[in-house]
Amino acid sequence: MNAKIILLPGDGIGPEVVAEAVRVLSAVATHGGHNLKFTERLMGGCSIDRYGVALTDEVLADCQASDAVFLGAVGGPKWDDPQAKVRPEQGLLALRKGLKVFANLRPVKVRSPLIDVSPLKRNRIEGVDILVVRELTGGLYFAQPKERSITPEGYERAVDTLEYYDYEVRRVADIAFRLASDRRKKVTSVDKANILESSRLWRQVTTAVAADYPGITLEHLLVDTASMRLLIAPRQFDVIVTDNMFGDILTDEAAVLAGSMGMLPSASLGASGPGLYEPIHGSAPDIAGKGIANPLATILSGAMLLRYSLKLNAEAEAIERAVDRTLEKGFRTADLLTAGERAVSTREMTEQVLHELE
């Protein structure tokens, strides 16, 4: 197989973890006789510094013409002025829109060697395997108007609009049900239908989609209830489908189950075209350049790239097994340490994954 992959390492620890993941992807490709061509471009704060915008039209066009896009992380204190007209996150939102990736898949799996890393009790999290499907290009983050104004009384007023169309809900719900059919056949739709009209539409449409999947169980949960159950009874979840903002918040919360945000990969998919793959963690500027970042979420995102964009399922599973064996042998970056363990570097963790692949 020949494939063109655009790399957007971004800011902070992004370039470090992307470089390590590329080593793993290259090793798997070489072993399987595949030709992966990696082309690096700028996005985020680094793009603002060079071009004055977080994502240029030329870089977006390169991404659209690729087979997959691999992203590190964007942002940092240098660009963190809330009043700034240009921010790194604008590049991320524009990239999602430009690639038309509307479904963000975030697997949350508690790996046996890391059970004691989580602050939650072993008997609550053992065996947890959840897939969160987050709607990615609608809702509060994208709808207009967004505005700030001064009222006649002199008060400052800010407005963000929460808007969904039925087709936006239908297409992401359909993906959630299709994925659940290959898992434990349960979908939990999370909304705020007791308050929000957009959530009432969300619930109506997901219920209608469920009728096309008679073998799948559908339950509806309010987001406040879901956030509680995610911590006290996470094994009850299989596939969670929810809107853009709720999905963003719930998956960060779910990092507690896995032990670290450094363990959570993601894939963003559309109806066609290249997928977007990235760890869910941020740019972690406080540890950038120190060689201690956890590369596993990015490496596992690379496995998702192989599975969903290149249809190389065996190669994806090989990476995932290598990560599991690495953890079973006690290798830990600083974010995964418990008492008495020694931290390995970003490079050392990757070296062990590569060793297990052999």
Could you list the active site residues?
A: 141, 192, 224, 248, 252
Nearest alpha-carbon partner for 229 in 192, 266, 190, 194? 190
**β-sheet bridge partners, residue 194:** none
Distance of CA 267 to the CA centre of its chain: 6
Nearest alpha-carbon partner for 234 in 243, 245, 221? 221
What are the b/e assignments for 265-285, b being 16+ CB within 10 Å? bbbbbbeebbbbbbbbbbbbb
Neighbours of 78 (CB within 10 A): 14
**Residue type at 43 in one-letter notation:** M
**CA-to-CA distance for 357 and 315, rounded, in angstroms?**
10
